[in-house]
Structure 1
Amino acid sequence: MSVLSPILTPPEVKEYLTKGERFIKWDDDTTNASPVILRVDPKGFYLYWTFQSKEMDFLDITSIRDTRVGKFAKIPKSQKLREVFNLDFPDNNFLLKTLTVVSGPDMVDLTFHNFVSYKENVGKSWAEDILAIARNPFTCNACRYSFLEKILVRLKLQLNADGKIPVR
């Protein structure tokens, strides 16, 4: 191999991403905020969160366009959520806890997934590492076997309470 040609490595998924962190997920559409555990699968294919009801929702890492923290993250517009997060108090450290994951098939049709952590500065490290995985050249340009592994990981994430793949 030549010195000039770069050696590409698969994305590194850090241990704290696979263990997960507690966040509060909120939506602009509704006034609901629900506690979730946010995780990345060990292979780095999916970002997924588990609600308290054991219901799971996930997002393909390749569809992530941006991650935002601090003043660049979305702030709730509904008065009920603003009261829940105490946004009207001047000494509030809400911006240090925010994380917004922007995803979509293209740069026009975007979806915003908004999270608030329980601790300060957790969202910043999550945003950096998730975006590093999403921007890795191997994430979108992998071999066929990696895409088969991706399908297998998705099937394993969707198992029901009996440990079986749900058929709809």
Structure 2
Amino acid sequence: MSLLNPVLLPPKVKAYLSQGERFIKWDDETTIASPVILRVDPKGYYLYWTYQSKEMEFLDITSIRDTRFGKFAKIPKSQKLRDVFNMDFPDNNILLKTLTVVSGPDMVDLTFHNFVSYKENVGKDWAEDVLALVKHPLTANAPRSTFLDKM
């Protein structure tokens, strides 16, 4: 191997991402909040969440455009969801628990997936590490064998 041709290694998925974390997934349109377990598959191909009814939804990592946390994440507008998260109390620290994953086929048609963790600063770690997987050069420009493995 030559120093002139460096080898780009595939992205590494951290252990806590593949083990998962408990979140509450909420939607402002339907005003439904439900507990989920959010995970990234061990090879870093998909971000998925499992509901209590064992129903599963997933996102392809390559379709994620941005991850947001803290004051940049979406906050519920409906009063019902605000009451669920106790947002109207002055000592509430919901901004330390929020995570928004922005996905879509292009930069115009975006979908926002909103999560609130049970613990503080979990959303920040998840947002940074998932975005690191998304921005890795081999995520979108992988060899053909990787895409066959993904299927």
Q: TM-score band, normalised by the shorter chain?
A: over 0.9
**What secondary structure does 1:124 align onto?**
helix
TM-score, normalising length from structure 1? Answer: 0.87
Q: Which residue number corresponds to residue 9 of structure 2?
A: 9
Report the residue type matching 1:17 in the other structure: L
Q: Which residue number corresponds to residue 57 of structure 2?
A: 57
List aligned pairs for 1:6-155, cutoff 5 A. 6-151=6-151
Shift of 1:100: 0.2
Percent identity, aligned pairs only, is: 80
* Partner Cα distance (2:143, 2:3) in 1: 23
Shift of 1:6: 4.1
* Partner Cα distance (2:131, 2:5) in 1: 24
Structure 1 unaligned residues grouped into runs of 5+: 152-168
Shift of 1:7: 2.9
* Partner Cα distance (1:110, 1:44) in 2: 21
Structure 2 unaligned residues grouped into runs of 5+: none
RMSD: 1.0
Report the residue type matching 1:11 in the other structure: P
Moved over 2 A (4+): 1-7
**What secondary structure does 1:108 align onto?**
coil
**What secondary structure does 1:44 align onto?**
coil
Shift of 1:5: 4.5
TM-score, normalising length from structure 2? Answer: 0.97
Report the residue type matching 2:7 in the other structure: I
* Partner Cα distance (1:146, 1:2) in 2: 24
Shift of 1:132: 0.5
Q: Deviations along 1:112-157, whole A, 9 cap, x unmatched? A: 0000000000011101110000111111111111111111xxxxxx
* Partner Cα distance (1:6, 1:86) in 2: 51
